[in-house]
Amino acid sequence: MCKTVARSFSMVQANGIPTLSSKEAVILRLLIAHGELFGLALVAASDGALKRGTVYVTLDRMEDKGFIVSHLEARPSGEFGIAKRVYRITGLGQRVLAAHEAASLVFAGGVS
Amino acid sequence: MTTAAAAPRTPYVYYYTPLTYVLWKSPLQLLAATGLMYFYGGFRGQITALSAIEIAVQLLLATLIAHLAPLLLVFVVLPRVRDRFRNTPETKVVRVLAAIGLAGVAVVSTAHVIFTLPLPLLIGLSLTWSPFINTWPLLALERWEQRKGTKPPSLVLPPTQRMQAVFAWVFTTKTMTRVYDPVFAENLEEWLTAETRGQRNRARWVKIRGGLILLHTLGKHLVAGVIKSVVDMYKVLAG
């Protein structure tokens, strides 16, 4: 049981396949649909599936896994404020989402 | 014994009481602060006899006392314990346990601040009873009436400046840029939008909500960190 719990929180499963939580899947779908987005826009586009208080921790984890990359928004020099961080999906993220959705379809077909 | 009316009033009283209640949060700390103030003659009349240097020294002393134990833990005890287990399989376990302990302290401290701060603040703000009656807030209200309409509105500070500095001191650059800076950036942008449109109430709400979002993010980040540490510890123990 301990191994199962440990595996559920780790980034990679025992067979080497990266883990993908439901929130991470939502973020990847949104990034595919909209291209580049920043955190607040992700929350707004998710229809309540993502919360502002948790989205950046999730995005940080996804960046560690290599599903997304981020960069600071370009701002005119001298403008007041802090630059926002913009996120973009990677090739690995696209492949993992595709595999996740294919597996979901298989399991949905099997149950019905 | 000097009377309150005879004592001269200086602007120190504006800052003294709120700072006392905000900086010395717990009842125990408040008791210590009260003792210090009584020692300096604050309770026997007005506290205006205190000079700015004395106030600064008291604040420094109380802050040192309140934070001495955690500082000792982090900078004296933990390095020694860690050195004892250096280059052994237990090193990781000790680090993880220390991380869990510090996270626990952070959670308990946060809850402590949330649940004990309102009470001293209520006492301090009370117009009916306060150990500082006739000083603050009555005097502040009196002065406010005197200067109303004679002074331009003070500069409004953006909501994120101090908090961002504190977080930058606590967390690593990577964590700041990935997790907390985006939260500050969005909060600041929302606040600036509301301020430039003249929506003062919305700006205030953005400040409050920004603080709650920051707390939520902090909680989530700490919980995720503890879980990751436990998993790492399990991996070490399981070989």
Dihedral of the alpha carbons of B104, B106, B112, B117, in degrees to the nearest 10: -170
Asked if pLDDT for residue B156 goes beyond 70, the answer is: no
Q: What is the pLDDT averaged over residues A12-25? A: 76
Q: Which of B187, B231, B236 to mutate to test the interface with A (most CBs of A within 10 A)?
A: B231
Longest dimension (CA), chain B: 75
Partner-chain contact B220 A84, CB within 8 Å: no
Q: Which of A57, A70, A72, A73 is nearest to A24 (CA)?
A: A57
Per-residue model confidence (pLDDT) at position B18 = 43
B205 CB-near residues (< 8 Å, 6+ apart): none
Chain segment B172-189, per-residue pLDDT in tens: 888 888 888 889 888 888
CB contact B216 to A (< 8 Å): yes
Average pLDDT score over residue span B146-170: 65
b/e map B21-42, b = 16+ CB within 10 Å: beebbbeebbebbeebbeebeb
Mean pLDDT estimate for chain B: 64
Mean pLDDT, rounded, for B128-153:
51
What's residue A67's pLDDT? 93
- For residue B222, the chain A residue with the least C-alpha distance is A57
Shortest CA distance to A19 belongs to which of A107, A111, A97? Answer: A97
pTM of the predicted structure, to 2 decimals? 0.52
ipTM value for the complex = 0.78
User: Are residues A39 and B186, on separate chains, in Cβ contact within 8 Å?
Assistant: yes
DSSP 8-state assignment for residue A74: P
Q: Per residue in B17-54, pLDDT tens? A: 444 444 545 545 555 555 555 554 444 444 444 444 45
- pLDDT computed for residue B85 by the predictor: 56
- Chain A positions with Cβ closer than 8 Å to B: 2-3, 6, 9-10, 38-40, 51-54, 56-57, 59-61, 63, 70, 80-85
